[in-house]
Chain A
Amino acid sequence: MTTALVEALSLSVMFGLRPVLTEVNLKLERGRAAVITGANGAGKSTLVHALCGLIGLSAGQARMFGQDIRRLRADDRRRVGVTLHRSMLYLNLTARENLEFYAKLNACQKPSEQAARWLERLGLGAVAEQRARDLSRGMEQRLALARAMIGEPELVLFDEPFASLDRQGAAVVGELIQELLARGGAALLTSHEPLTVKGAEPENYQLVSGRLLPAAAQPSRRTAWRWMLT
């Protein structure tokens, strides 16, 4: 039996009394990608936070590498790369210093070489010595992606990875995901519009009213009404 890299089991999240995610079930195995679409405020970011163990669940379970997320070992946290809305970069450190710092946290062998390699890979060579504060929005997003990839993760959870990226940046991210899947990793992406991942057939899901539905069976307007009435 292959263990799923990431798994949600009847996962529910409430903020106060308001349910944001209800009974979400999701399973992502090696070599697979999933794309979760949904309107603004649908709960995509909340799902990513919940899967990473950053927020408490009101019911259900989030698992990574077969372990409950709250008991994930430090060694296994190294196998996960995450980007969220905020870039988690230190604004007063330069792009290179940020990457070197995160490389060291991930116990990379040669932090400065790794940092240089990822800067180059995401086309940030020219701004390596600029402080993160001074980067353009798209550059910051590229750096955030480099930050997530620097530990060579097996599993990536990217919340809106293509936001503010130009075409070339988006192509690089597409390649990164493709490489990750090819070496047996898994990727979970969120987006507010349908995505295609080059060279992969992602599982498409849609978040509607806090429920995760297969996007193939997207409720047409009429069935959506029927679902709401029942």
Chain B
Amino acid sequence: MLTGFCALLHKDLTLERRGGRVVIELCVLSLLVLVVLVVAYGPETGGRPESAAGALWVALILSGLPGASLAVAAEHENDCLTGLRLSPLEPATIYAAKVAAVALSMAVSQAATLLLLVLFFNLQFDLNLLRLIPILLLGTLGLCALSTLLGTITSRLRAGEMLLALLTAPLYVPELIAGVKASAAVLSGASLAAVVLPLKILAACDLLFVVCGYLLFEYLAG
């Protein structure tokens, strides 16, 4: 199972390195989002940690969701997903490797987003920024797990069934609320106690999405 996982991940990263589609697309998107928000907020509100946290998460969503659909679509290009389904791999392994690959590309683009955020919103390079990292990692994992799962569903649908994509959107909400709250708290220098609850919610959502994807992928990809 581990060899299969590694082979898949290696393949996805090679493709990514070659095409560079996901990472570049995500970086460009988050850059544009940050520009729009920093201009819209203006100098006063822009300086507040809440604004920075909001901008960060908007960039995250806008870059995370297309990332997962691109990664899933790549598997459909030449019926490669059928090739994987015919192989001895467990469907759950395919899902895990896909999530890992998407999460890695997203993490790269997030590093860029974070850098831009610091520049645009005049944040300090300090400990608070470091404390943001676990929150971002948890958020990325959850977003990737869910969007890979939903991307797998929607990639098989015809246009008329796209309503499903709309209906599943609320699933992201708890993760987002917790993520924004935790980021804002951390950026404004609040104590650790203030972030424990949002972090717990983030972790719970992650667990839920990963387990669901792991169990359901077999039926969704089929």
Residues of A within 8 A of B (CB): 52, 54, 74-75, 77-78, 80, 82, 84, 86-93, 97, 101-102, 104-107, 132, 147
B80 near A88 with CB under 8 A, answer yes
B11 near A101 with CB under 8 A, answer yes
Tell me which of B3, B6, B80, B88 contacts A77 (CB under 8 A): B88
A86 near B86 with CB under 8 A, answer no
Q: Given known contacts A82-B86, A104-B3, A104-B7, is B15 in contact with A89 (CB within 8 Å)?
A: no
B83 near A147 with CB under 8 A, answer yes
A106 near B15 with CB under 8 A, answer no
A78 near B88 with CB under 8 A, answer yes
Q: Is the interface of B mostly helix, strand, loop or mixed?
A: helix
A74 near B15 with CB under 8 A, answer no
Q: Is B87 an interface residue (CB 8 A)?
A: yes
A74 near B90 with CB under 8 A, answer yes
A88 near B78 with CB under 8 A, answer yes
* Residue in chain B with minimal CB distance to A105: B87
* Residue in chain A with minimal CB distance to B1: A74
* Residue in chain A with minimal CB distance to B7: A104
Tell me which of A54, A82, A92 contacts B19 (CB under 8 A): A92
B77 near A91 with CB under 8 A, answer yes
Q: A78 to B11: give the CA distance in the assembly, Å.
A: 20
Q: Given known contacts A88-B79, A90-B78, A92-B19, is B86 in contact with A52 (CB within 8 Å)?
A: yes
A/B interface sample: 20 pairs, CB < 8 A: A74-B89, A77-B86, A78-B88, A82-B86, A84-B82, A86-B82, A87-B79, A88-B79, A93-B11, A93-B15, A101-B7, A101-B10, A102-B83, A104-B7, A105-B8, A105-B88, A105-B89, A106-B87, A106-B88, A132-B78
Inter-chain contacts of B200 with A (CB < 8 A): none
Inter-chain contacts of B85 with A (CB < 8 A): 54
Q: A88 to B10: give the CA distance in the assembly, Å.
A: 17
* Residue in chain A with minimal CB distance to B75: A90
B18 near A92 with CB under 8 A, answer yes
| Shortest distance between the CB of A90 and any CB in chain B (Å) | 6
Q: A147 to B87: give the CA distance in the assembly, Å.
A: 11
Q: Is B4 an interface residue (CB 8 A)?
A: yes
Inter-chain contacts of B78 with A (CB < 8 A): 86-91, 132
Q: Given known contacts A54-B85, A80-B86, A86-B78, is B3 in contact with A107 (CB within 8 Å)?
A: yes
Indicate the member of A75, A77, A84, A101 with the most B CB atoms within 10 Å. Answer: A101
Q: Is B14 an interface residue (CB 8 A)?
A: yes
Q: A93 to B15: give the CA distance in the assembly, Å.
A: 7
Tell me which of A54, A82, A88, A105 contacts B4 (CB under 8 A): A105
B14-44: CB near A (< 8 Å → 1, else 0) gives 1100110000000000000000000000000
Tell me which of A75, A84, A93 contacts B79 (CB under 8 A): A84
Q: Given known contacts A74-B90, A75-B88, A104-B3, is B82 in contact with A90 (CB within 8 Å)?
A: no
| Shortest distance between the CB of B140 and any CB in chain A (Å) | 25
Given A104-B4, A107-B3, list of 18 further CB < 8 A pairs?
A54-B85, A80-B86, A82-B86, A84-B79, A89-B80, A90-B77, A90-B80, A91-B77, A91-B78, A92-B15, A92-B19, A93-B14, A97-B11, A97-B14, A105-B4, A105-B7, A105-B89, A107-B88
B93-117: CB near A (< 8 Å → 1, else 0) gives 0000000000000000000000000
| Shortest distance between the CB of A92 and any CB in chain B (Å) | 5
B82 near A54 with CB under 8 A, answer yes
| Shortest distance between the CB of A157 and any CB in chain B (Å) | 10
Inter-chain contacts of A101 with B (CB < 8 A): 7, 10-11
Indicate the member of A93, A102, A105, A107 with the most B CB atoms within 10 Å. Answer: A105
Q: Which of B64-88 contact A (CB under 8 A)?
A: 77-80, 82-88
Q: A68 to B6: give the CA distance in the assembly, Å.
A: 29
Q: Given known contacts A84-B79, A102-B83, A107-B3, is B88 in contact with A90 (CB within 8 Å)?
A: no
